[in-house]
């Protein structure tokens, strides 16, 4: 068989290589730590560990930077990042994005922690701005639910309940009853740090950097950008409004860059 023929036939079998992100659709990539229940049980404080959270933030920053994202949200062992509508890296190839996102996250977390850790990755596509808002409100609601469960679970374990008994008891409680359970043990759930309850948001912000030009002997200012961390995210509608503003601003500056 001629090499060109073999080459063409083999390439058609790279079946998913043709798949692209839908043009004009919003794309969000979510990476999630693989088997992090075991990893965190062995190496980190329960139910929350500031060191673990810092490794997740470093990982989130790497994703925001590598993929030129607009917004990153992290809670527990997962990170979601939003791409600009007109994102064009890798010709919008699905395979590249999903594999590199997991690769970048795994490398960044491993580098931060100093031990190997792996992430999986999936892609969400949404046609409307409101879908994006709903997505992040969905993940935040998940954060809140998991944080409340995790707090209750470890409170019960710390007073001597077995894993099975603690889980069984929690399964029968409503949200309000879980808060009451914590209050009985002198824990005010709403007073816990924001990152533990509702996750953390990261986004680009601009700032003015002052300098000095020795040639002209004048002071200079340059507009630079850096990553901001929001550890006290609002909830519900207020979170939605924050996201709308952030997306509008980022999309507007992308338009200017594309025209310029
Ligand atoms: N000890 C500890 N565990 C955490 C922390 N953040 C997330 N986790 C755990 O990470 C796990 C994430 O859940 P999930 O992705 O469903 O589990 P996986 O499939 O084993 O990765 C849960 O078991 C959480 O309790 C933390 O700060 N400390
Ligand atoms: Mg996980």
In the structure, ligand 2 is a single-atom ion and the residues with CB under 5 Å from it are 32-33, 36, 77
- pLDDT band at 252, cuts 50/70/90? confident
Average pLDDT on 13-29 reads 95
Question: Which tokens belong to 97?
Answer: 């994005």
The predicted structure's pLDDT at residue 251:
75
The predicted structure's pLDDT at residue 255:
67
Give the whole-angstrom CA distance, residue 110 versus residue 84. 27
**Residue 89 Cα distances to 19, 25, 47, angstroms:** 14, 14, 38
The predicted structure's pLDDT at residue 253:
74
Greater pLDDT, 258 or 117: 117
The predicted structure's pLDDT at residue 97:
98
> DSSP assignment of 69-114, as one string?
-SEEEEETTEEEEEEPTT--GGGGBHHHHHHHHHHHHHHHHHHHHS
Nearest ligand to residue 39 Cα: 1
Residue nearest to atom 4 of ligand 1 (CA): 40
- pLDDT band at 4, cuts 50/70/90? very high
Mutation to probe ligand 1, out of 42, 60, 76, 198 (largest number of atoms < 8 A from CB): 76
Question: How many Cα atoms are found within 13 Å in the side-chain-facing hemisphere of 242?
Answer: 16
Mutation to probe ligand 1, out of 33, 50, 77 (largest number of atoms < 8 A from CB): 77
Q: Is the CB of 35 under 6 A from ligand 1?
A: yes
Q: Is the CB of 52 under 6 A from ligand 1?
A: yes
The predicted structure's pLDDT at residue 64:
98
Give the whole-angstrom CA distance, residue 31 versus residue 106. 9
Residue 91 has pLDDT above 80, yes or no: yes
The predicted structure's pLDDT at residue 1:
79
Do 80 and 132 contact (CB within 8 A), yes or no? no
- For residue 118, report the distance from its CA to the centre of ligand 2, in Å: 9
Give the whole-angstrom CA distance, residue 189 versus residue 154. 13
Greater pLDDT, 71 or 253: 71
Question: Which tokens belong to 28?
Answer: 């969000």
- pLDDT band at 256, cuts 50/70/90? low
Residue 120 has pLDDT above 80, yes or no: yes
In three-state secondary structure terms, 170 is helix
H helices within 159-223, ranges in order? 163-171, 175-184, 194-198
End-to-end CA distance of the chain: 51
Say whether domain 17-197 belongs to CATH 1.50.10.20: no
Average pLDDT on 65-85 reads 97
Question: Which tokens belong to 232?
Answer: 């006290």
Q: What is the largest CA-CA distance in the chain?
A: 77
Mutation to probe ligand 1, out of 32, 34, 37, 199 (largest number of atoms < 8 A from CB): 37
Distance from the Cα of residue 206 to its chain's centroid: 21
Average pLDDT on 125-141 reads 97
Question: Which tokens belong to 10?
Answer: 């083999």
Greater pLDDT, 169 or 249: 169
Residue nearest to atom 25 of ligand 1 (CA): 37
């Amino acid at each position: 068989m001629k090499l060109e023929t073999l080459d063409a036939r083999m390439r058609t079998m790279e079946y998913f290589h043709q798949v692209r992100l839908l043009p004009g659709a919003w794309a969000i990539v979510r990476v999630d730590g693989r088997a992090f229940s075991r990893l965190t049980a062995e190496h980190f404080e329960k139910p929350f560990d500031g060191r673990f959270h810092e490794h997740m933030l470093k990982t989130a920053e790497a994703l925001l930077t590598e993929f030129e994202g607009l917004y990153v949200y992290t809670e527990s062992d997962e990170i979601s990042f939003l791409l600009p509508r007109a994102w064009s890296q890798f010709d919008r190839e699905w395979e590249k994005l999903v594999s590199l996102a997991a690769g970048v996250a795994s490398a960044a977390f491993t580098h931060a922690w100093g031990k190997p850790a792996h992430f999986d990755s999936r892609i969400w596509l949404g046609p409307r701005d409101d879908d994006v808002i709903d997505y992040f409100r969905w993940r935040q609601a998940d954060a809140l639910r998991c944080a409340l469960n995790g707090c209750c679970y470890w409170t019960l374990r710390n007073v001597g309940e077995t894993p099975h008994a603690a889980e069984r008891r929690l399964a029968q409680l409503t949200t309000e009853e879980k808060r009451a359970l914590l209050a009985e043990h002198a824990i005010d759930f709403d007073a816990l740090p924001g990152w533990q309850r509702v996750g953390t948001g990261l986004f680009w912000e601009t700032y003015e950097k002052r300098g000095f030009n020795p040639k002209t002997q004048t002071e200079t200012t340059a507009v630079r950008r850096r990553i901001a961390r929001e550890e006290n995210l609002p909830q519900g509608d207020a979170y939605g409004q924050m996201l709308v503003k952030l997306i509008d601003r980022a999309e507007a500056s992308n338009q200017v860059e594309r025209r310029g």
